[in-house]
Amino acid sequence: MSNSEIIILVLIAFNINSLIIGYLFGRYSSSNGVSYNKPQSFFKQNQQDKPATNHLSIDDKKVVVDIKTDDLEKKYDSLGDVKQSKENISNSVNKLKNLKR
C-alpha cells in the first residue's frame, strides 16, 4: 500500500468514527431534559391576560336585500371603455423603420 492509500483509509475511518460519536452524543444529550412534546398554544398566555371583548357574531339566516349606494362617491365616469386603434403591427414596424433612417 502506498502512503496516499493509507491516508485515504485513515480519513475514511476518522469520518465514520466521527459520525458514530456524534450520533451517540446526540442520543445522550436528547435524553437529558429535552422535551419533544408539542405545545398546546403559543398565544394561550396572551389570551388569558386580556379581558373578554364583544366578539363578532355571524348570523347566516339574515339576508341583505337592499343596499343603498346613493351617498357613495363616484370616482370614475367610465370604467372599462375599450379604445380601438386603427394602427396595426405593420404600421408600427414601418414607423420604427422610418425613425432609424
- Residue 26 inside a domain? The answer is yes
Q: Using DSSP, state whether 83 is helix, strand or coil.
A: coil
- Residue 8 inside a domain? The answer is yes
Tell me the residue length of the chain. Answer: 101
- Residue 9 inside a domain? The answer is yes
Confidence class for position 65, pLDDT limits 50, 70, 90: confident
Instruction: Fill in the DSSP letter of residue 79.
Output: S
C-alpha cell at position 94: 414601418
CB atoms within 10 A of CB 73: 4
Tally of structural domains, the chain = 1
- Residue 35 inside a domain? The answer is no
> What's the longest Cα–Cα distance across the chain?
95
Domain residues for the domain of 9 are: 1-30
C-alpha cell at position 18: 466521527
For 19-59, write each residue's pLDDT tens digit.
999 998 888 776 666 566 666 666 665 555 555 667 777 77
- Residue 89 inside a domain? The answer is no
- pLDDT of 48 reads 54
